[in-house]
Chain A
Amino acid sequence: MKRFVMALAAVFALTLPLSAVRAEEGKAMLGKADVSIEVKDGVYFVTEQIQLLHSNHAPDGKLEHTISKLNGVSAENLHISTGNEDLTFEEQDGDALQKVFVQMPEAGSDTFDYSISYQVALPDGEYKLPLFVPMYAAEKGENLVHISFQAPEGMIVQPNSFPIVIENNQNRVESHMINLPSHVSYLFGETAPFFNSHTLISAATLVILFLILFVWARVERRNARRGA
């Protein structure tokens, strides 16, 4: 009866156009997010350009965001603005995450563009960089989120980063995604060694799978001989 859940999923899919229309009418949604990250002297400079659709539906004109406090790291010099106007915000501090409520201007349009910029200093050997996440689902199942990361000069981004990096040996990488992650972890170094955590895990997975198949094939052959 996992099939029950599947059935619900199927009906959801079959009635998707209807539910999508309803969502568009009644909820603020993420239109797009463009995140740019640069590292200079161990400090990460982050700028998030965000577009919200149907933003007038946000209760009291307050836009909810979360930012994780992974490894106790926090954002400094936080600046939130729309056009040339600075926006006020309230912070709600927690143990593992911080909630930030951004106040929209009163006479806002239905589509609201704003920018969040901040800096994060990460300790040596630490790459997990928290991002501000507007708590509004993306409007469509398309790659509305774009993240660009520029490693320090002379460094290349490693393939075992998060989000996964497809291009090899690049100083600057770009990711196109459907949803905004709570953090990114772009590992970088002077070289990209072939043996990293991902290649080792992949190799181990492959070996284990082949081992199981090999043992199974042997057992089947032995049973077949016995039967014959």
Chain B
Amino acid sequence: MFEVSPVFYYVIAGYFLMTLVIGYIAGRGNKTSEDHLVAGRSIGPVIGGAALAATQLSAGTFVGTVGVLYLTGASYMWYWPGMFAGWLVSAIWVAPKFQQFKGVTVPDYIEKRYNSKVAKVIAAALIVVAYTVYLVAQYVAGGILMETIFGLPKIWGAIITIGITMLYTMKGGMKATTYSDFIQAIIMAGCFFAAVPILYSQAGGFDYVGRFITELQPTLTGWHWQFKDILGFALAFGLSVAIAPYELARMYTMKSQRTVRLAIGFSFIFQAVIAIAICLVGFAMRSLYPIMNNADAASSIMAVNVLPPFVGALIVVAILAAIMSTVSGVMIVSASAISHDIFGILKPNATDKQKMTINKIATVVLSIIPLIFAIKPFDMVQFIVIVQSSMVASFFFATVVIGLNWKRATGTAALISMLGGVATVLIWYLMQKPFGLNEVIPGVLVSTVLLIVCSYFTKPVPEESLKPFFGK
């Protein structure tokens, strides 16, 4: 536990209060499930862009990535172009069509495009399983952060962070999530960028930090990672971000196709600012602390030991914000998969009110389950935490990117492609990643080939299903 200034308590309590107020105010305007799940399709480009960035940036960015940059240096930055390429794919071929479709969930798209309720339910089930387990990682991160900064037991740290996220998500739905994401993105980008001049002033300046870390470990400013590694990271990030359901669900919330494209542009700016800032943070921290017992603690140590207490407290808020924005985005997508997709299929005549009630119950249940896994992790949880992102990418990439841009893709081929992609990921991982390739690469490759080849041998989907995506 660190010795922290009381300012940390005030700032973090203020932040929690602010998110709850946003949740309450946003929730007052929600009359229907469409208001709740897609914010009444009212979100503009700046707020939307900030929300896309905030959802994408998780504790992984501010804890894990800063730690990796601290340990391995600048060459790790080369995964960002891969992620930006993923955003470009989304901006050109995916997001505008999703907005135009005006669905509510990603499985909605699967059902309509491929004319298959089975595919919709499978997609919803995968989202629920993969994302619920994925939240374990965020809970652990929240627990560790609160324990490190305030000395709270991990479990209480996780309960406080996730409990507040659950409350504002449940009350305010997508609008609260998007608005709080906006605030969170401003805090994340603003504070990390503001931290850089202070950090470098303490560390001795840019020139000195560069010379120091180069002499300490030349690979920090050279090449720590091989081309194969960087390609793997870049593809893994890019393929995932282009079709991540928690990002695609945000496209439904925006006003128009132009708004979607502009929002992705703004999200680029937010992410570029943060990418540069965290890289500089990693270097300066290596110069200030040439060795650490846990590189993942670099951001927290910066907040507590290097920065003025108010700015340091905001950095902790930024890390919490990264966790909370990802959790709320994931929670809303998972809960809607249950209330809108699975419950909607099981009970086609369900009223809007019933769906809303199920959604709120699902939000609570899906918040509690990862907590149990976080307390008592077992092998399968760890396994899914590692491969869930690859599974989701392999499941959705071909069916979304190709399905939105190629009329011939069929429902049967989509099912084979999704299941084949996931199976490939699992097999590749269990084979201990032959050739050192990240499992997402063969997963997406196999699902793409299966979708294209099987589409030529299976029954095309009716013209009616293609209309929302290809017009007449």
Contact = CB atoms under 8 A, between A and B. Distances in A.
Nearest to A203: B310
Contact of B386 (A11, A96, A142, A181): A11
Nearest to A198: B308
A141 B144 CA distance: 11
Given A128-B204, A164-B304, A166-B3, A14 B377 contact: yes
A7 B388 contact: yes
B385 A178 contact: no
Interface string B166-205: 0000000000000000110011001100100010011010
Contacts of B211: 95-96
Contact of B134 (A3, A175, A212): A3
B294 A141 contact: yes
Contacts of A2: 56-58, 60-61, 64-65, 83, 237
Nearest to A92: B215
A191 interface: no
A95 B215 contact: yes
B17 to A, nearest CB: 14
A203 to B, nearest CB: 8
A136 B291 CA distance: 7
Interface in B143-163: 144, 148
B297 interface: yes
A2 B65 CA distance: 8
B296 A205 contact: no
A135 B216 CA distance: 10
A201 B58 contact: no
Interface string A198-227: 110110011011001100100000010001
Interface stretch (A39-47, A65-73, A101-109, A117-125): A65-73
Interface in B32-75: 42, 44, 47, 56-61, 63-65, 67-68
Q: Which of A128, A178, A198 has the most CB of B within 10 A?
A: A178
Contact of A6 (B44, B64, B288): B64
A74 to B, nearest CB: 14
Given A128-B204, A141-B294, A162-B202, A9 B307 contact: no
B240 interface: yes
A97 B208 CA distance: 10
Interface residues of B, number: 84
A68 B205 CA distance: 13
A9 B287 contact: no
B390 to A, nearest CB: 8
Given A2-B57, A7-B389, A205 B141 contact: no
Nearest to B378: A14
| Main SS class of interface, A | mixed
B137 interface: yes
A195 to B, nearest CB: 12
Contacts of B138: 6
B60 A6 contact: yes
A133 to B, nearest CB: 5
Contacts of B56: 2
Contact of B215 (A8, A94, A133): A94
A21 interface: no
A138 B358 CA distance: 49
Q: Which of A8, A160, A176, A223 has the most CB of B within 10 A?
A: A8
A179 B308 contact: no
Contacts of A176: 3
A150 B130 CA distance: 55
Contacts of A68: 204, 212, 287
A9 B297 contact: no
12 contacts: A1-B233, A1-B239, A1-B389, A2-B61, A4-B240, A6-B58, A6-B60, A6-B63, A97-B215, A133-B290, A164-B312, A205-B310
Interface of A: 1-15, 30, 66, 68, 70-71, 94-97, 128, 133, 135-143, 160, 162-164, 166, 175-183, 185, 197-199, 201-202, 205-206, 208-209, 212-213, 216, 223, 227
